[in-house]
Structure 1
């Protein structure tokens, strides 16, 4: 699937050239061609869809930061001179964000709307073209656009809805429930036209299974978005994926996140991924974000790691030693090639310490460099002389469909029916089945945490379980309910005076 990653990496550049030609009439040969003549070939079509899929690679940057570092799952302590960054990591951890800071809020808004703008241009281009099977590709693009709006309605609530038919000028926001209904309508119309296959050709693309998985998650969070739960519809969309028989759990949990997860059989579980390639589709830098500086030589990395992302002790403690998923963590003493524990000089206390990752973090403002268990869920690409890694990032896995089905049934009081779905996941993890008495909201939320840590969804799950602002954890007290939504960034309101701020900000 290397060709696909190159396509997504280079397609963005190719389509940027084409898109620019809309205003610079002498920039490319396409400007002097009839719009119906482009795209005319499969190569042209791939350039169109490649550019839109390529825009999703920014998800692991600012959107991921908002979805994870505001939760009980990921914390980024300031360590001496590192990871202060105008106080943003402390503000995110403590729920002290404003319309101005941290800048990740504006970064996420812009990332999603850049992707939407690209999709809208490409849908408009395809509608005017004579290329064969364009309806299938337009359906894919509508799925990408719906995915962006799913994150926007989740993070910001009221947002402008922009399509290929939107007029020029500053748009107004739509109510949160209207954005939900737009997403629902888009997916219901597009899913039947999406390709119903789990193949190499559709890897990393919006297949019918991916469309159903997305709609299942939209319905799963309908109560948050509209005030009216849609548990039965969430279960039905999950059934559409399950009954297709195109997907299954990977035997090895961590295979889904391996360096070669595009070709190790994980396609069976990974319904929709964002493809990354260390050369052609860059952006996956998780190894640098989490590893200690002193581990550069151990892993043969070209660049020194940044020693940032880690987890809270309480979250780490939810994993039993029997749970195979506990291997996603890097804990305890770290040894070098000679078998000796690696040491370093700490810039906070001036002392020499072992690199011995401990669950305890003594302070958010002045943590010692060894404190905090680290993430290795995404396999660290050893002897990698390039900043980025090759691991693809799963957005929807078959496991998330099973959990959606289990939760949707449980929320309807169908506990016995829910058990087989959640227990498929627990069996793979090597832990005991849940019984009916184990099926509580608290245990469901913990299971979400164990299965989907570091996959960019924890904030969404906490809000649905009324635990994001309502519960306290280390460094964060119970916070104002206004923080269940991000503020509309001041930068955006300065550019568009029609945007109204979310309540409380």
Structure 2
């Protein structure tokens, strides 16, 4: 929705243009309507507007075209973008993601790389302005603002750490030398150091003032997420640190699970959700980058929702993932658009679970995503803010750390707590899971999905076990899938559970263990001779 941060971003763009701009004309008259470097002197009142552009790239990173919610799911086992009657081959871009055949010119991860460094550069700029006295503020404000900018910069680096591993670490806005590439271990160490040092200095405030910004609890959640994946990043798990940070967030009693699973994904989630710890604000006026709904809704659904733009009808559910749900789990129908959808004239539009292949699929094959509220009169830009960190994730991170340290019953209690809002009435008893449940394998029927809907081993490629019974803690992986579907978690989760490069799903077969990272963009290598490509590419 249209929040203070989204309004400040517009102002911030004007302010920053003034800070670095010279006059656009040779006339000698005083430019009364133009902000120039000579007449603009930033003050403490301008600070929020000056900071806003450091957050802006997050909008392009998450719910936009080629955003993280797109390619983190496309490379995993929940979401597909097959060829449709209206196109969607797109030079094979989505088939390459599905088949794990991307290269150094793949648009989606390349966009994440460039936008992350755009955010890092913007944060470095304001850090420099604060440290050099260009922006005059009192000592307390300076300390808190520097901490927030450093934490935000570290957040961008967590995305680079997870997706690329070996990237430059840039902290000096005035540096003129090409930055050196760091190892994944060094990037991890930098992120941990920055978040650990800034957490005590960050605001503990919640609510409107810090909505869409990194406060102390957001930073703790982000660091807990890094520690949860430390075994992947460095080879050394850090589950005890996950337990410490999640306990601190829970003990603060600032957030809680929403009663309805859909509330964190509603159009009014900036006001109605008590679960969102960190959000990326979007709106249809000032922050218009969110268009994932256009990619998944079929063209005829414009009549059902009286949309002001015709959706494109590309992405839909992987039928193998749909088959993992308990049919009484409310998350199934709150995440996926199932059953007949009717417009104002009563005309019905149906969707099938079955998807024949990645290369030949009709409009009604696969369920569109409805998790992020689709509302009447929606345009090509959604008003729904992206919940980048939810309290449910804090509970699940703690549960996984407990599970992996031999405390399965305690883990099950937390998972049950999250499940309760999704199993009601006669199905309420299904909400309860036990420790022995969570240590079982996955119910996902991994294997090649043939054009007749059967799952089997495909000839050729790396032989894999059909099904998921051999996955350690596979049932917990299933729980992650059901709770966080289409939130850009799945690729990271599959890697952590050893599934991403070992299992077959739909028309995907394993294609190399190096695929746990994306290639360093070729464009970045061409502009920085100090960069080396990740192994395998």
TM-score > 0.5, shorter chain as reference = yes
1:48 and 1:122 in contact (8 A); partners too? yes
Aligned to 1:395: 388
What does 1:10-29 correspond to in 2, within 5 Å?
Answer: 10-18=10-18, 20-21=20-21
Aligned to 2:351: 357
Secondary structure of the residue that 1:31 maps to in structure 2? coil
Could you tell me which of 161, 184, 191 is aligned with 1:183? 191
Aligned to 2:341: 334
Q: 1:82-117: per-residue Cα shift (whole Å, max 9, x none)?
A: 1111110110111010112x2222212111111111
Aligned to 2:97: 92
The yes-or-no answer on 1:432 pairing with 2:418 is no
Report the Cα distance in structure 2 between the residues aligned to 1:9 and 1:324, rounded to whole angstroms. Answer: 37
Aligned to 1:124: 128
2:299 and 2:312 in contact (8 A); partners too? yes
The yes-or-no answer on 1:276 pairing with 2:259 is no
What does 1:26-425 correspond to in 2, within 5 Å?
Answer: 31-32=37-38, 38=42, 40-42=43-45, 44-59=46-61, 60-61=63-64, 62-100=67-105, 102-127=106-131, 128=133, 129-132=135-138, 133-164=141-172, 167-264=175-272, 266=273, 268-326=274-332, 327-341=334-348, 355-384=349-378, 386-425=379-418
Report the Cα distance in structure 2 between the residues aligned to 1:489 and 1:318, rounded to whole angstroms. Answer: 35
Secondary structure of the residue that 2:432 maps to in structure 1? coil
1:273 and 1:394 in contact (8 A); partners too? yes
Shift, 1:339, TM fit: 2.7
The yes-or-no answer on 1:481 pairing with 2:474 is no
Report the Cα distance in structure 2 between the residues aligned to 1:330 and 1:115, rounded to whole angstroms. Answer: 34
Shift, 1:72, TM fit: 0.3
Secondary structure of the residue that 2:55 maps to in structure 1? helix
Shift, 1:495, TM fit: 1.1
Report the Cα distance in structure 2 between the residues aligned to 1:165 and 1:380, rounded to whole angstroms. Answer: 41
Q: 1:291-331: per-residue Cα shift (whole Å, max 9, x none)?
A: 11111121111111100111101111222222121122102
Report the Cα distance in structure 2 between the residues aligned to 1:204 and 1:177, rounded to whole angstroms. Answer: 29
The yes-or-no answer on 1:501 pairing with 2:533 is yes
TM-score by length of 1: 0.92
1:5 and 1:280 in contact (8 A); partners too? no
Shift, 1:14, TM fit: 2.4
Secondary structure of the residue that 1:272 maps to in structure 2? strand
Which blocks of at least 5 consecutive residues in structure 1 are unaligned?
342-354
What is the total number of aligned residue pairs between the two structures? 484
Task: Note the aligned Cα RMSD (angstroms).
Answer: 2.0
Q: 1:225 to 1:46 in 2, by over 3 A?
A: same
1:11 and 1:46 in contact (8 A); partners too? no
Report the Cα distance in structure 2 between the residues aligned to 1:181 and 1:53, rounded to whole angstroms. Answer: 23
Shift, 1:134, TM fit: 2.0
Which blocks of at least 5 consecutive residues in structure 2 are unaligned?
424-429, 440-472
Secondary structure of the residue that 2:431 maps to in structure 1? coil
Q: 1:477 to 1:19 in 2, by over 3 A?
A: farther
1:7 and 1:50 in contact (8 A); partners too? no
Q: 1:124 to 1:360 in 2, by over 3 A?
A: same
Q: 1:274 to 1:434 in 2, by over 3 A?
A: same
Q: 1:119 to 1:322 in 2, by over 3 A?
A: same
2:104 and 2:519 in contact (8 A); partners too? yes
Report the Cα distance in structure 2 between the residues aligned to 1:318 and 1:433, rounded to whole angstroms. Answer: 17
